[in-house]
A and B are shown apart, each in its own frame.
Chain A
Amino acid sequence: MAPPGRNDQRRLAIERRLAPRQGGDSGTGAVTDVSLRVWREVADTLAPMIGVGGVEAIFKRSLQLTTPSWPWLAPAGAPAEDEDPLASCQARLKVRSPAEAAEANVILLVSFTDLLVTMIGASLTDRLLGQIWALPISAPSEETRP
Chain B
Amino acid sequence: MNQSVSINQLATGVPGLDAILGGGLPEFSFNLIVGPPGVGKTTLAHQLMFALATPERRALYFTVLGEPPLKMLRYQQQFTFFDVAKVNDTLRFVNLADEVASGRFDQVLARMVKEVEAFSPGLVFVDSFRSLLGESKTDALEQISPQAFIQHLGVHLSSWQATTFLIGEDPSQTEIHPVFTVADGLLDLRQSTYRNSMVRKIQVVKLRGQATSPGIHTFRIGGGGIEIFPAAAVPGGASPAPAAAAGPMARLAMGVPGLDAMLGGGLPSGYSLLVAGPSGSGKTVLATAFLAEGVRLGEPGVIVAFEQAPAQSWPRTIDGFVRAGQIGLINTRLLDLSIDEIVQRLIELIHRMRATRVVIDSLSGFELAVAPTFREDFRESLFRMVSVLSALGVTVLMTSELEDRYTDLRFSPYGSAFLTDAIIVQRYVELQGRLKRVMAVVKVRGSAHSDELRFYEITGEGILLGAPVTGYEGLLSGRPKPAQEPQR
Chain A, residue nearest B61 (CB): A49
Query: Within 8 Å CB of B143, what residues of A?
Result: none
Task: Verify B77–A121 contact, CB threshold 8 A.
Answer: yes
In the bound complex, CA of A58 to CA of B70 (Å): 10
What 0/1 pattern do residues 91 to 133 of B give for CB contact below 8 A with A? 0111101100000000000000000000000000000000000
Q: Which of B68, B70, B84 contacts A123 (CB 8 A)?
A: B84
Instruction: List which B55-72 residues lie within 8 A (CB) of chain A.
Output: 68-70
Chain A, residue nearest B99 (CB): A51
Q: Given A49-B69, A50-B69, A54-B69, do A127 and B84 touch, yes or no (CB 8 Å)? A: yes
Task: Verify B73–A54 contact, CB threshold 8 A.
Answer: no
**B88 on the interface (CB 8 Å rule)?**
yes
Distance to closest chain A CB from B317 (angstroms)? 36
Q: Which of A51, A58, A121, A127 contacts B97 (CB 8 A)?
A: A51
Task: Verify A53–B97 contact, CB threshold 8 A.
Answer: yes
What 0/1 pattern do residues 42 to 58 of A give for CB contact below 8 A with B? 00000111111110001
Instruction: List 22 A–B pairs whose Cβ atoms lie within 8 Å, in order of A's numbering.
Output: A47-B95, A48-B95, A49-B92, A49-B93, A50-B69, A50-B73, A51-B97, A51-B98, A52-B98, A53-B97, A54-B95, A54-B97, A119-B74, A120-B70, A120-B74, A121-B74, A121-B77, A124-B84, A127-B84, A127-B85, A128-B87, A128-B88
Q: Which of A48, A52, A54, A128 contacts B68 (CB 8 A)?
A: A54
Query: Within 8 Å CB of A48, what residues of B?
Result: 92-95
- Interface residues of A, dominant DSSP: helix
Q: Which of A50, A121, A128 contacts B95 (CB 8 A)?
A: A50
What 0/1 pattern do residues 32 to 68 of A give for CB contact below 8 A with B? 0000000000000001111111100010000000000
Chain B, residue nearest A120 (CB): B73
The 10 closest A-B pairs by CB, nearest first: A51-B97, A51-B95, A123-B84, A49-B93, A50-B69, A120-B73, A124-B84, A119-B70, A127-B84, A119-B74
Chain A, residue nearest B85 (CB): A127
Query: Within 8 Å CB of A124, what residues of B?
Result: 73, 77, 84, 87
Distance to closest chain B CB from A129 (angstroms)? 11
Task: Verify A51–B69 contact, CB threshold 8 A.
Answer: yes
Chain B, residue nearest A123 (CB): B84
Chain B, residue nearest A52 (CB): B98
Most chain A CB within a 10 A radius of its CB, from B92, B94, B95: B95
In the bound complex, CA of A58 to CA of B95 (Å): 16
Task: Verify B85–A54 contact, CB threshold 8 A.
Answer: no
Chain B, residue nearest A45 (CB): B88
Distance to closest chain A CB from B90 (angstroms)? 12
B interface list, Cβ under 8 A from A = 68-70, 73-74, 77, 84-85, 87-88, 92-95, 97-98
Chain B, residue nearest A124 (CB): B84
Chain B, residue nearest A131 (CB): B88
In the bound complex, CA of A125 to CA of B310 (Å): 46
In the bound complex, CA of A49 to CA of B97 (Å): 10
Query: Within 8 Å CB of B68, what residues of A?
Result: 50, 54
Chain A, residue nearest B71 (CB): A119
In the bound complex, CA of A53 to CA of B88 (Å): 20
In the bound complex, CA of A95 to CA of B97 (Å): 36
In the bound complex, CA of A54 to CA of B69 (Å): 8
Task: Verify A54–B77 contact, CB threshold 8 A.
Answer: no
* Given contact pairs A51-B98, A120-B73, a sample of 17 additional A-B residue pairs in the complex whose CB atoms are under 8 Å apart: A47-B95, A48-B92, A48-B95, A50-B68, A50-B69, A50-B73, A50-B95, A51-B97, A54-B68, A54-B69, A54-B95, A119-B74, A120-B74, A124-B73, A124-B87, A127-B87, A128-B87
Instruction: List which A105-142 residues lie within 8 A (CB) of chain B.
Output: 119-121, 123-124, 127-128
Query: Within 8 Å CB of A123, what residues of B?
Result: 84
Distance to closest chain B CB from A45 (angstroms)? 9
Distance to closest chain A CB from B74 (angstroms)? 5
Query: Within 8 Å CB of B77, what residues of A?
Result: 120-121, 124
Query: Within 8 Å CB of B73, what residues of A?
Result: 49-50, 119-120, 124
Distance to closest chain B CB from A138 (angstroms)? 9
Query: Within 8 Å CB of B85, what residues of A?
Result: 127
In the bound complex, CA of A119 to CA of B85 (Å): 18
Task: Verify B84–A50 contact, CB threshold 8 A.
Answer: no
Chain A, residue nearest B93 (CB): A49
Distance to closest chain B CB from A141 (angstroms)? 9
In the bound complex, CA of A53 to CA of B95 (Å): 10
In the bound complex, CA of A43 to CA of B93 (Å): 15
Q: Given A119-B74, A124-B77, do A53 and B87 touch, yes or no (CB 8 Å)? A: no
Distance to closest chain A CB from B396 (angstroms)? 40
Query: Within 8 Å CB of A127, what residues of B?
Result: 84-85, 87-88
In the bound complex, CA of A18 to CA of B88 (Å): 24
Query: Within 8 Å CB of B94, what residues of A?
Result: 48-49
Chain B, residue nearest A53 (CB): B97
In the bound complex, CA of A49 to CA of B68 (Å): 10
Chain B, residue nearest A48 (CB): B94
In the bound complex, CA of A51 to CA of B98 (Å): 7
Distance to closest chain A CB from B91 (angstroms)? 11
Query: Within 8 Å CB of A51, what residues of B?
Result: 69, 95, 97-98
In the bound complex, CA of A119 to CA of B93 (Å): 16
Query: Within 8 Å CB of A50, what residues of B?
Result: 68-70, 73, 95
Query: Within 8 Å CB of B69, what residues of A?
Result: 49-51, 54
What 0/1 pattern do residues 84 to 122 of A give for CB contact below 8 A with B? 000000000000000000000000000000000001110
In the bound complex, CA of A119 to CA of B88 (Å): 18
Query: Within 8 Å CB of B95, what residues of A?
Result: 47-51, 54
Query: Within 8 Å CB of B87, what residues of A?
Result: 124, 127-128
Query: Within 8 Å CB of A47, what residues of B?
Result: 95
